[in-house]
A and B are shown apart, each in its own frame.
Chain A
Amino acid sequence: MEKAIEITGLTKNYGKHRGVKGISLQVEKGDIFGFLGPNGAGKSTTIRSILGLLHFGQGEIKILGMDSVKQQKEILSRTGYMPSEAMFYPTMKVRDVIRFAADIRRRDCKAEAEKICEVLELDTGKKIEELSLGNRKKVSIVCAMQHKPELLILDEPTSGLDPLMQEAFFKLILNYNSQGTTCFLSSHVLTEVKRYCKNAAIIREGEIIRADTVENLSRSNLRKVRVWEAGEERSFSYSGDMKELIRKLNETELSDVLIEEPSLDELFMHYYSESDAREDRKEEVL
């Protein structure tokens, strides 16, 4: 399978501060890939390194088979990017910003831009300074999609969009994806990753801690355990040898026990908060 994004050993530091450390990641062409992590984990650093806004110390990034440093211009011409902060020139009108982006790309994107504006109900006659964050996000969506890119890089795209617009936005994403566009979606919102992504990676403190299909990521040996002992209820999460858990539970005077799979949200919280998610160990959470 051809790769849309191949990151190998990416390391980027900001002076003494950590950026990302030895990140390796692969996104297949045609995928909708979720990139999850808490604030400051290194999601934007990774994306900004992919796009050439940051110069990284070590590693290699290939986008659509091209070197991200040597063939940056070609990569950007085939990519659409939606930053988390949708900022444009305040005195320009929406239609002028959209046309400016299309003109730089030397493409006639008028028909596609009109179509997206209609879907998103975007007033192109307004000035940028008159727009709310949600409407600026819509301008960003148009600029990222109007040239029908092969790869869409979306950094927290739904923040600021109301639920109806989020729905419309994902319809657009699915539509472009059905035409072959690969989507790399950085997000905090687990439900949208679960709903729309096939594969995902979790980044924490500058390192990828898991990368797999969303289905496999949802499967884990992490269990939520609830025990009733002497009339009191106690709950904790457990990830480790089940025989050991049952042996320990046998040693206590239980009146009842419930062992269940955690929800996806709980699972990701577990990934985010664990000091080493791969190390099997028992941890009392509640």
Chain B
Amino acid sequence: MTLLKHEIKMNLKTLLIWTLSVGVLCAGCILLFKSLEESMRGMAAAYSDMGAFSAALGMDKLSVSTLEGFYGTEIALMFAIGGAMFAAMTGASMLSKEEEGHTCEFLLTLPMGRRTVIFGKYMAMALLVLLFNGVTVLLILTGFVGIGEMPDGKTFALYHGAQLLMQLEIGSVCFLISAIAKRRQLGASLGLAMLLYMADLMCRIIPDLEDLKYVTPYYFSNGADILAGGELQGEMVVISLIVTFFSVLAATVVYGKRDLAA
């Protein structure tokens, strides 16, 4: 618990910056919707008729001229990428920052045991991601209240639940990278978050790459799919949970056996 509190405190500034940036951006765009509604109506037909491009961005399923469609295609994209980047950065620095900052000898010679350190740090990462989601969702809902129109509660909750799972999966994979690396791999973690987003776009555009949908967690947590269909694909969620579980397990094994640099 002490380590968990310590990590939250150490990451509070980053959490605030990312939460406010993503949350205010999303809420601001929602507030802009009313003034954009007219022009969106004109563009909706064109957007939905752009073949693979429309499919990649979900505009074949939802109309950008409706608030739900605007949220599922435009805002969900900003939220997904912002959230994934925050989770990736947080996960990637959790363990390796101790070696990079030479604080390893201080932390690991306190009577906790490496497993407790790993558990505490993973829980801190998960809590930070949860707090990021909680506050951004509140800001987004404030935006909806501002324009006097609320989204469907069930699909909204389902979408943000899927986003949370997606961010935890990416955060966990980056947590594993952090257990292996001696330096903070921020570039690699942000690259991974973007690469997985690219994989989602590719598998939607190129039929031969369809199987990438099992690799990228952006696929099952896609805003347009969930808000249009109202459900999650169970097998994808299971894959995501398996990847998350084995990433944490591998991080525990690797970090438990590693020689730690001074």
Q: A residues engaging B (CB < 8 A)?
A: 14, 44, 48, 51-55, 72-74, 76-77, 79, 81, 83-85, 87-92, 100-101, 103-105, 140, 143
With an 8 Å Cβ cutoff, the count of chain B residues facing the other chain is: 20
Which residues in B have their C-beta under 8 angstroms from that of A140?
Answer: 106
Which residues in B have their C-beta under 8 angstroms from that of A76?
Answer: 109-112
Pairwise interchain contact A85-B105, C-beta atoms closer than 8 A: yes
A-B contact pairs, 29 of them (CB 8 A): A51-B108, A52-B108, A53-B105, A53-B262, A54-B259, A54-B260, A55-B257, A73-B111, A73-B112, A73-B113, A74-B111, A76-B110, A81-B105, A81-B109, A83-B105, A85-B102, A87-B102, A87-B105, A87-B106, A88-B106, A89-B10, A89-B103, A100-B2, A100-B6, A104-B3, A104-B111, A105-B110, A140-B106, A143-B106
Which residues in A have their C-beta under 8 angstroms from that of B109?
Answer: 51, 53, 76, 79, 81, 83
Which residues in A have their C-beta under 8 angstroms from that of B3?
Answer: 104
Measured CA separation A104–B120 after assembly (Å): 12
Closest to B105 in A: A83
Additional pairs, 10, CB under 8 Å, beyond known A87-B101, A100-B6: A54-B259, A76-B109, A79-B109, A83-B262, A85-B262, A87-B103, A89-B103, A90-B101, A104-B112, A105-B111
Closest to A55 in B: B259
Which residues in B have their C-beta under 8 angstroms from that of A53?
Answer: 104-105, 108-109, 259-260, 262
Residues in B1-58 with C-beta less than 8 Å from chain A: 2-3, 6, 10
Count CB-based A-B contacts (< 8 Å). Answer: 66
- Would you give the 0/1 interface string for B246-262, flagging 1 where the beta carbon is closer than 8 Å to chain A? 00000000000101101
Measured CA separation A238–B253 after assembly (Å): 54
Q: B residues engaging A (CB < 8 A)?
A: 2-3, 6, 10, 101-106, 108-113, 257, 259-260, 262
Which residues in B have their C-beta under 8 angstroms from that of A103?
Answer: 2
Most buried by B among A77, A87, A91: A87
Measured CA separation A87–B262 after assembly (Å): 10
9 closest A-B pairs by CB: A77-B111, A87-B102, A76-B111, A83-B105, A104-B110, A103-B2, A81-B109, A73-B113, A54-B259
The B interface, classified by DSSP as helix, strand, loop or mixed, is: loop
Closest to B257 in A: A55
Which residues in A have their C-beta under 8 angstroms from that of B113?
Answer: 72-73
Nearest-neighbour CB distance to chain B for A17, whole angstroms, equals: 12
Closest to B2 in A: A103
Most buried by A among B2, B3, B109, B110: B109
Measured CA separation A103–B113 after assembly (Å): 15
Measured CA separation A213–B54 after assembly (Å): 82
Nearest-neighbour CB distance to chain B for A117, whole angstroms, equals: 17
Nearest-neighbour CB distance to chain B for A110, whole angstroms, equals: 15
Given contacts A54-B259, A72-B113, A91-B10, contact A104 B106 (CB under 8 A): no
Nearest-neighbour CB distance to chain A for B103, whole angstroms, equals: 5
Nearest-neighbour CB distance to chain A for B22, whole angstroms, equals: 23
Which residues in B have their C-beta under 8 angstroms from that of A55?
Answer: 257, 259
Pairwise interchain contact A83-B106, C-beta atoms closer than 8 A: yes
Nearest-neighbour CB distance to chain B for A83, whole angstroms, equals: 4
Measured CA separation A90–B112 after assembly (Å): 22
Closest to A101 in B: B110
Measured CA separation A76–B259 after assembly (Å): 17
Nearest-neighbour CB distance to chain A for B206, whole angstroms, equals: 44
Which residues in B have their C-beta under 8 angstroms from that of A105?
Answer: 110-111
Which residues in B have their C-beta under 8 angstroms from that of A143?
Answer: 106
Closest to B260 in A: A53
Nearest-neighbour CB distance to chain B for A106, whole angstroms, equals: 8
Which residues in A have their C-beta under 8 angstroms from that of B111?
Answer: 73-74, 76-77, 104-105
Closest to B101 in A: A87
Identify B2's interface contact among A48, A84, A104, CB under 8 A: A104
